[in-house]
Chains A and B, each alone.
Chain A
Amino acid sequence: MTEQLRESLSAAMDNEADAFELRRVLDEAKQDSDLREQWYRFALVRDVMREDMQHYQPGLREAIWQTLNETEDADADVSQPLRDVSIDPQKNQRSPWIGRLTGTAVAAVVAVLVMVNGGVFDSEIEPTADYAGVQPALSGSGELAPVMYQQATAIDQQRQQALMLHHIQQRAMNQASLASFVKVATFRSTPPLVPAETSNGQSSPQK
């Protein structure tokens, strides 16, 4: 993975990527399983760093921070203490926290997650009532099987937005009335997620 691609992925994770950048990442991710894996891990790490930890086991957060800080000490690329970022999770700027995470740091976090829990997630997590019918995350071979998880990634948002735009466009083109073209003209990306879904949601492949 090139540094540029990593930067783009980082931007995509924070919904900071522009349309071209996001498209490039998506295109690359189609062919590049490493990139997809990285994306998945970034999402995991993001939860940890945002201290969105209610579904994780107690003590896990401390273990992760310790690992991160150790990795950070050993890595010259990490110029800023990661802890600063966690203090301000709302910080919304280009080249954010994830850009400062090196591959080793991310790998270390994932290793801790797996080690502590024998799996990434607390097995007690219940799917939200709306989507109780979610399907297994891991198949016997250890490969990722289709899964519904609760926290949307940039890809998920992109997918919904593309469909939203298609619906709006289809209406407008078929209706050809002013009111429906207005919807097209004012379409903007990244509609805010409905709060109930994001606050309760958690990146949680189900058993």
Chain B
Amino acid sequence: MMNLARLLCLATVACLVPCIAVAQLVEQMLQDMNAAFTNHSYDGVFSYYTGGELASLRVVHKEVDGVQRERLVHLNGAPREIIRTGEVVSCIVMPGDDLIALEKSIPAGPFARAFVRQFDQIADIYTVGTFGEGRAAGRTAVRVAISPKDQDRYGYRIWIDKETSLLLRSELVDHRGQKLEIFMFNQLLVGDDVEDSALEPEGVSGGMVSHLTLQAADEPWQPPAAADSDEPMPSAWSTRWLPAGFAMTDSHMRHKPASGSQVSSLMYSDGLAAFSIYIEPMPKAGAASMVSQNGATVAVTHQIEEQGQYYLVTLVGEIPVETARNIVTTVHQKNG
């Protein structure tokens, strides 16, 4: 019996050691990848597939005079550019573009500044491992799989450049292995050859520029004076159920620019996946219970009643629709 126990023990250790080693290796790779996004200069063209649509974009990144600069250019469809200089993001779009609806100021939350912020946080809910080498944009890559341990979130397969640790390709996959989003560099120039001029917008005639900034998290939220909502919105909302590992990272009240009505928003993250819950008073004209999906991003709208008042609850996030439904039906008012 002793021998058997010892054998079992040894077998367990023999199994665990490589697992831990792999996890540490992958953790290091992901950290390097995060750093590579900001440390390297690069100019590349990538494809992005989501929601049945394929887009082609160019990205240029370079640090100039100590400031991180980035330029993202939509190469197909309506001209769109997103330019980031440090903390300021500017969007150049044509009149009529959906992106006009972007908010000028977004509250800063504790979200990751990178692909994965706290690796130890995701280790309980995702399994990580490498699965050989591959190629993307003509470069050799190490392939990494981040697989959820349950079906309440999606997994990733990522290709990390062996030489620079840059992300060359990533796939967002559901539990059946179906690819919901694919990001892949087709061509990539890395290093000092990246020109400063490549960061300058092309100045499409008739384009509109809007500047977006992060609002400091400690800045108190100021409600606009005019609101046509009858009832003040209760600010404390919660959910009765959340998938394992998800925690609220931010909540705030905002006004919808279009209608002036109040919307309470809650953000949740498991360290990798994220979703937002928006709660607003039920519009007088009613609303549809509906589900939309755009690639991995799902939106589910549901109605709840709290103390005789009706509210419209919409969950938006990169999680499976079944999970979104399960969460959205448990939204309730705290202490209510």
Contacts and interface: CB of A to CB of B under 8 A. Distances in A.
A168 interface: yes
A148 B299 contact: no
Interface string B94-106: 0111111111001
A170 B287 contact: no
B80 A185 contact: yes
B8 interface: no
A182 B48 contact: yes
Interface string B265-296: 10100000011101000111111111111100
Interface string A135-164: 101000000111111111101110111111
A149 B290 CA distance: 9
Contacts of B167: 178-179
A107 B108 CA distance: 50
Majority DSSP secondary structure for residues of B touching A: strand
Contact of B98 (A145, A149, A188, A201): A188
B289 A175 contact: no
A159 B292 CA distance: 11
B303 A135 contact: yes
B238 interface: no
B19 interface: no
A147 B214 CA distance: 36
A151 B34 CA distance: 43
A174 B72 CA distance: 17
B276 A182 contact: no
Contacts of A19: 96-98, 100-101
B293 A148 contact: no
Task: Pick the most buried of B53, B100, B276, B285: most chain A CB atoms within 10 A of its CB.
Answer: B285
Contacts of A36: 285
A19 to B, nearest CB: 5
A18 B70 CA distance: 30
Contacts of B310: 135, 146
A194 B293 contact: yes
A185 B50 CA distance: 12
A128 B302 CA distance: 12
Interface in A65-82: none
B297 interface: yes
B264 to A, nearest CB: 12
A143 to B, nearest CB: 9
Nearest to A39: B285
B288 A152 contact: yes
Contacts of A196: 291
A164 B299 contact: yes
A166 B263 CA distance: 12
B112 A186 contact: no
A157 B292 contact: yes
Interface in B85-142: 87, 89, 91, 95-103, 106-115
Contact of B37 (A131, A151, A177, A185): A177
Interface in A1-33: 18-20, 23, 26-27, 29-30
B57 interface: yes
Contacts of B212: 169, 173
B101 to A, nearest CB: 6
B219 to A, nearest CB: 14
B51 A192 contact: yes
Contacts of B286: 137, 144-149, 205
A51 interface: no
Interface in A102-146: 130-131, 133-135, 137, 144-146
A178 B297 contact: no
B38 to A, nearest CB: 9
B3 interface: no
B303 A134 contact: yes
B52 interface: yes
B111 A175 contact: yes
A160 B72 contact: no
Task: Pick the most buried of A26, A130, A167, A187: most chain B CB atoms within 10 A of its CB.
Answer: A167
B55 interface: yes
A44 interface: no
A144 B285 contact: yes
Contact of A148 (B37, B276, B289): B289
Contact of A144 (B87, B96, B284): B284
A178 B98 contact: no
Contacts of B321: 194
A197 B331 CA distance: 21
A59 interface: no
A176 B61 CA distance: 12
14 contacts: A20-B96, A29-B285, A146-B286, A148-B288, A149-B286, A149-B287, A160-B290, A164-B297, A165-B98, A174-B111, A178-B61, A179-B167, A184-B91, A186-B53
Given A23-B258, A146-B310, A193-B290, 16 more contacts: A36-B285, A146-B283, A146-B303, A160-B290, A165-B98, A167-B297, A169-B103, A170-B107, A170-B267, A171-B111, A171-B274, A174-B106, A178-B59, A179-B183, A185-B74, A189-B98
